[in-house]
Amino acid sequence: MDDHDAILAANEAFYAAFRSGDEDAMERVWAARADVACLHPGVPPLHGRADIMDSWREILDGPPPIQCVHPRAHQHGDAAFVICGERMPGGTLVANNVFVREDGAWRMVHHHAGPGVPPEHEQPLN
């Protein structure tokens, strides 16, 4: 699997853990040693793995049905980000998921979801 596909697979693993409410899978998605941050909609930013995992435990107790749509990966050496839509009942959020290569695997270091124009409405670059 090339890096582009591996980054998209790591992004999908995040959404699979989210959809299924699987705390162990969510723990595996996030980096263990790199600095991490998370911006859930409507709450202050979270910094540090412990606080972020606590927030996911609460969310995963009753996760909304969520679908990642139109993911687009961008790689810069051992760092990458994916911009995608998060389709849920009531609308679509825009998400930015940042990954780093840790122990040979792509691990999340930042998640930010909020209102915005969903990726399917992006204008192509000229």
Domain ranges of the chain: 3-114
* 63 — pLDDT class (breaks 50, 70, 90): confident
Task: Kindly report the CATH number that applies to the domain delimited by 3-114.
Answer: 3.10.450.50
Q: Is the confidence at residue 126, as pLDDT, over 50? A: no
**Alpha-carbon span 114 to 101, nearest angstrom:** 25
**Alpha-carbon span 45 to 23, nearest angstrom:** 20
**Alpha-carbon span 4 to 121, nearest angstrom:** 22
**Alpha-carbon span 29 to 39, nearest angstrom:** 16
pLDDT digits (tens, 9 = 90+) for 49-60: 999 999 999 999
- Look-up of token digits 């792509």: 106
Specify whether the CB–CB gap between 108 and 29 falls below 8 A: yes
pLDDT digits (tens, 9 = 90+) for 64-84: 899 999 999 999 999 999 999
User: In whole angstroms, how far apart are CA 32 and each of 19, 23, 27, 54?
Assistant: 22, 15, 9, 14
